Structure 1
């Protein structure tokens, strides 16, 4: 005798509904977090969009306001005042894996940018070490004098190795559109970096590109002047104007799974390179060039890099990386609930159809 099909209180079969609901919950929770963890973007257009963790040493700022240089919409303004204490104002994006990613962003140096033969790092990929020690970023984009350059670091024989790749002349008063395609190396597999500016390839690197220990490299973007760290003394600040630049359209997309890590001695292949590419944003007009945090507005948090004498600010009480994970889980549950509801409607109205609308983002030029 066949088993009887269970009935709902209304006397309808529930097997299909239960099966659909379980399948949709599993599919939603399996797919959503992966996309959220390694694909993030910030266009600074929505007042409700939270900025990433802010790493600020001293009295620098990251504020949102009108984009300069004829660019429509909003952008982030980053500044580091020359006050003898400040040296870093960055947005920090963590939680990325050790695979392959495309990093895209736009930046703008004002027309009165001051050329100096000292690095101003505007984007860096930093690997937190097992012992918490702070060493050179594994990859860093900087402006040195009148030119862009890329520095890549890796470890060999217990010593840090460095490759310096020229990327062409800087153009103050011009929006630069950067693309970095990075595959991180492992102890047994070389990595690669391809750099494009305004759609033209300007540099590349093949071989080891990180230290192969600790956490996967995370992304920092903004302004950082290593020569301005207080422990290095005041001589490098004499005659220097404050650092001011603008950022927009940050987008990170995962393009591959992490490489297989094989058991091997630390180190990597010699590189080859070809030189030639707050809780809520604060809308409003830009403050004056000399503006900084006032009394009672001291940054909170802590800087784990060595030699820091000022606290590192953050704008969200959620630990870095947690917000994305929480949002991913919430999105998965919400989406699954909506899909389960759709399955119930299908049982009652098998002829009902519908398709969600598509959102269109404004094209940026």
Structure 2
């Protein structure tokens, strides 16, 4: 009898062990399937554009071709580079986006530090208004912002000394520079919120020790708080760079004639329709239309070239980005 009980216990132990192992494998398989499916959904547009970029126009109407082309070519990439004037425009865009990112990070860090550490009358109301800027659709601000920078004036000073209604800053970089430097640019409300939450999590003893050593408010901010805020700073700068690079709202509203990537990509279909007939030796005119499928190939290639710098940047900074997001508590 004891021998039989011992055998039963051994059987139950092996059965439970096999069942737990099967459950673990089932969960791993489920997670693998889900991750694979989500990854495919995310990567499919990129894979499709890569396929279109190296596909010859003759393959468009071949029903047997889906993703892998029969006739490989780099003509689509060359034509997209030519239409976009890619390299000069990319350099101009990166310089502009970098300057705006630095201005936004600096101004929003200072504003977030002020909300986190200084108590003054109406501070909670002001911060609530900052949070509201995150929820207000940008389209509702289009008309007032356009009118403001079309006749830009500071406390009526321009009208007082020149007699004019203001200075027209449209089709210049000044509207973006001014809004970014004053923590009122693209997504600035979110950046102020990130910095405020991060600074509130730092111990006040650090600042108290700096004040005892003779550091003022700005010295404490620059020499003590900012070096400790590298995770939040990294998160904000990456967000600001990507969103500023992809921005079409402010760019089309204030700088419609500027050589920026987002503006040029938005007009890429029209530019391609004008470019292809001349390339193919067709007569230009109102009745001349390029092959819409060929146009779509060039547009897809141009979009791929536009997002390529962001993809390369993410490949190099993804580890720092994940660490910074984790340490700042930005989720969702």
TM-score in terms of structure 1 length: 0.24
TM-score in terms of structure 2 length: 0.26
Q: Which has the higher helix share?
A: 2
Higher RCO (C-alpha 8 Å, min separation 6) = 1
**Larger Rg, first or second structure (1 or 2):** 2
